Structure 1
Amino acid sequence: MQPDLFGADRRQIRLSEGAVLLGGFALSHAEPLVAAIAALTAAAPFRHMETPGGRRMSVAMSNCGPLGWVSDRGGYRYAARDPLSGEPWPAMPVLFRTLAQDAAAQAGFADFAPDACLINRYEPGTQLTLHQDRDEQDRRAPIVSVSLGLPAVFLWGGESRAGRAARHALFHGDVVVWGGPSRMNFHGIAPLKDGLHPATGALRYNLTFRTAG
């Protein structure tokens, strides 16, 4: 990991132009965020989606908000209803929306209006390979990603998979925002290490806010 990740000041670390890590930005809201995840996923349970090629994703997922990201043999897309229940996704809590908007503004992206929040659950050994967020119709808006629970290593690449991705430590309450010239950068999560966190136990949660429609 990069030495500066463990320096005294992690409040704002520039990853690239248009991309910033806001250390501890969500920490004061972490307890109600975790509680809200439990309530939301009671209504729309976590599930392991399938890639268009038929592979089971290791990260368990759910959604809240007007639109939810889904994947199956029909492809990657956003849908207004949970395919498991046929019901609309749970409403996005006000706290979620406000936090995402505040983080985006802190990173220099005013007027962020997320209409989708992807809720990811990571268990030890789970990873997310390098990918781009390219299923959104409005790519002018940034992506806002909130980390809760076990620490993780965020992989931050460039506009192609070529080259070595930078590795950045993510801790409970950290938020990463990327947009503008970095909006289509490849990114991922290295395999999660074993551990226990007081707020989430042996799990990491990630909230990813997007303007999908």
Structure 2
Amino acid sequence: MRVVLAEDSAILREGLVRLVELRGHRVVAAVGDGEQLVAAVGAELPDVVVTDVRMPPGHTDEGLRAALECRRRRRGLPVVVFSQYVEHRVARDLIGESAAGVGYLLKDRVADSREFLDAVERVAAGGTALDPEVVAQLVRRGRDALAELTPRELEVLAAMAEGLSNAAIATRLVIGERAVEKHVAGIFTTLDLPPSAQENRRVVAVLRYLRRG
């Protein structure tokens, strides 16, 4: 199996290289930032990518964005990301419409070399490897988020589920259209639905509402 690794900590990067190679796989590139990751994937055509989420220069989500760019260029490229914490937006962006060939592990798991390598191999084969804590928090967040909506926001969301426009919702609830827009924005914020070119936030919000319970 050909592997590209991306981790800005040289010590951890060298440790990961050693772990992977002891398992009998080949690390074709080990890089320290997202830009190098994209270049390495284009040059080496690996079977799987393993990357940290937070990398230089901003140490926010550079590793994730690089991984998503790699998957955009090579559709279905298996990717395993690891992070210190469960980051809900990271999980959502990474999984997208399908969890096939996707792994999201917490860094604590990397300490268990067998579990880590099993996860990488499973993802490389087209499977999924999501840390149990990631799954638990995503499920919990999905349930709790709807409960955090205000009564008025729930009314607006219910009307959205009926297919009403903001103007129609304003008429039904006898409030201004700008107030409806404010409530809709509040719904998106509470449900953690930032602007996206890949999905219609209104539709996603309605689907979550219909699946509640």
Q: Could you state the TM-score of these two structures normalised by the residue count of structure 1?
A: 0.25
**Which structure: larger Rg?**
2
**Higher relative contact order (CA closer than 8 Å, sequence separation 6+):** 1
Higher strand fraction (1 or 2): 1
Higher helix fraction (1 or 2): 2
Q: Could you state the TM-score of these two structures normalised by the residue count of structure 2?
A: 0.25
